[in-house]
Amino acid sequence: MAAGLIALELSAPCPPGGPLALGDCVKTRPFTLGVLGLAAGLYVLGLTAVLAWVSGLRRRGVANGVAARDWYLLAALVGLPIAPLLAFTLLSALR
């Protein structure tokens, strides 16, 4: 999905004057691509960490398959809005 959004961003023409409130399209495009790429990476990293955590819980007998699935789905749903916000914050701070 992130690759599709990046391809869509790269194929879209820059309007004259740039997008409203974002400034010059040429200057903001690398930032946008960075946010999309970093958000996808953070999302996958977070889901991988949750999967490793619940696998450990199942191995120790603390959780069953239903609990592991529920935690994974919760992390997936919570991570969708959190990953882009965190990526935007990180890249804004590093500018």
In total, how many domains does the chain have? 1
Please name which of 14, 34, 24 lies closest in space to residue 93, comparing C-alpha atoms.
34
Reported as a pLDDT band with limits 50, 70 and 90, residue 9 is: confident
22 occurs within a structural domain: no
17 occurs within a structural domain: no
Mind listing the pLDDT tens digit for each residue in 17-55? 555 545 667 777 788 888 889 999 999 999 999 999 999
24 occurs within a structural domain: no
40 occurs within a structural domain: yes
pLDDT beyond 60 at 5: yes
83 occurs within a structural domain: yes
Give the DSSP per-residue string, the chain: -HHHHHHHHHHSPPPTT-STTT--HHHHHHHHHHHHHHHHHHHHHHHHHHHHHHHHHHHHTSS-HHHHHHHHHHHHHHHHHHHHHHHHHHHHHT-
Which residue range is the domain that position 94 belongs to?
36-95
21 occurs within a structural domain: no
1 occurs within a structural domain: no
Structure pTM? Answer: 0.78
d(CA 5, CA 84): 13
79 occurs within a structural domain: yes
